[in-house]
Amino acid sequence: PPAAAQLGILRRAHGVASVEAQLQCPLTLQQMKEPVICADGHSYEREAIEAWLLVNNVSPLTHQPLSHSRLVPNHALRSIIVAQRDCGSSCQEAGADSSWRIDPSKLTISGVVLGRGAWGVVREGTLLEDGLPRIVAIKQFPEADQVADLTRELELLAFATVRCSHVCRLIGVCRLDGLVCLVMNKYAESLHDLLARNGKLTLQQTLRLGIQLARAVGELHDISIVLNDLKPSNILMDKWGDLVLSDFGISTRIQNNLSRIMPSSIKGTTSYMSPEAFDPEMFGGVGPATDVWSLGCCLVEMASGVPPWDGLRHQEISRTVCDKRETPSLPDGLPAAAIALLSSCFKYEPAARPKASAVHQSLVAIDASQLQSLHSTAEASANASGDTRPLVLASVAFSEETKDVDNTVAARLEANAGASDGAAGARALDSPGVEKQDLDIALALSLSEQCHVVQTAATPEMEMQQLETALALSRAMAMQEDARRGRGE
């Protein structure tokens, strides 16, 4: 809906004073003009948070360490702020506002299909912004009776975008060639694409992506949104490997403090559906626990490379889950804690499953345990060889498409080479497998003189396992340093 209409919805739901307080920057306590989302999931005025990050690496609100320093423009919140400023108190009622509207003459839709669903087709397009082309994703609603579906999806997406940092970013809406078009940010690929290309992921990759995914689902549950169709093709990834959730076509928002809702029909993708999704009446409806089952299915697919119930038809899966009460098979080689966590996600009774936030906490604990184990192994090896230097990073590398962006960080590392006995430079290498966050960790540790960052060349003798071990050691030492600072040591 237009931003002014969305503002009216928010005011009626939460009260004028509450909504206007949410439009203020937590740092300046003034209404924001250019809101951006920080790594802690909260929105701030850009200038204020940039100044904060120059001297701090923790959240201004939670005081927890920030995983990165990237700032994402909060377009939906800015649109609501503009509507609030322009409309004032008269925005209590839904009204027309141009801030969500896109000039159709600036939008071109290509023939590239990014995805299809029961509620629309998503195509690639180009949007001219200030004379410069921007590649976008466009969800089309070709039939008049689908406008209601678009309105519902827009309401949920706008509501989530204001409050969550891990949802697909809304740009605006327009009508082009008789089609209603929802224009969104285009991401590098989906988790489905990644799995189709690489097969199953390593345990380290599964844990890292699983942590992001559980946090994203938990954010939506905190604002009472149930996805109803969580699956790898609806999990998008940017060029850094960060996840966002997309496709709110069959999502719902639970109202009036209810824990479940009764859908009008069976909805979802069979391989990821819970017992209550197949038979809502038996369980009294669907709710956040429905997404937790789907979250477990996504984790299983990441670790195994194949979706749950692969090869079975819809009716066979329904009978297996509902009548036989069977759960998806768990991949071999998982730690005992991971097996226990997945088993809890697949409890038959929805109330027995953990919350998404608890899944997130468990995955973080499992990841920390794995990193500590690798750290101990690397430390023992270093002691045996007589070289006890904390070698934190064996190589820093970028993929071709992100090199230009990341070279600025690499330059900062090289500029600090020789700055102290405890820091040395690192050079960007053209090899896959290393992410920007590993470079950020190396930079942070280098500047804090906590370790040596060594420069190496990409040689055939360097095994990817060695590289992953070095990177894991880097993250483990960073976690230890964060814990030490938290204790005030």
For tokens 């097996």, the residue is: 339
399: phi then psi, degrees, rounded to nearest 5: -80, 160
Torsion on CA atoms 26, 27, 32, 33, rounded to nearest 10: -160
Q: How many other C-beta atoms lie within 10 A of the C-beta of residue 414?
A: 16
How does DSSP assign 248-310, residue by residue? -TT-EE--TT-S-B--SS--S-GGG--HHHH-HHHHTSB-HHHHHHHHHHHHHHHHHSS-TTT
**Phi, psi (rounded to 5 degrees) for 148:** -60, -40
Q: What is the signed CA dihedral for 263, 265, 268, 269, rounded to 10 degrees? A: 160
On whether the CB atoms of residues 245 and 287 are closer than 8 A, the answer is no
Residue numbers in the known binding site are 139
Residues belonging to the binding site for ATP are: 139
Measured CA to CA, the distance from residue 258 to residue 188 in angstroms comes to 36
Please give the Cα distance from 25 to 60 (Å, whole number). 11
8 A C-beta contact, residue 214 and residue 284: no
Q: Which of 11, 147, 172 has its CA nearest to residue 76?
A: 172
| 430 DSSP assignment | S
Q: Which residues pair with 391 in a beta bridge?
A: 452
Please check whether residue 362 is in contact with residue 353, taking contact to mean a CB–CB distance below 8 angstroms: no
Work out the angle between the directed axes of helices 288-304 and 336-345 (0-180°, nearest 10).
140
Helix, strand or coil, per DSSP, at residue 487: coil
Tokens of 160: 């989530």
Burial class (CB in 10 A: 0-12, 13-18, 19+), 480: middle
Residue 418, sorted as left (phi over 0), alpha (psi -120 to 50) or beta, turns out to be left
For residue 189, the cross-strand partners are 237
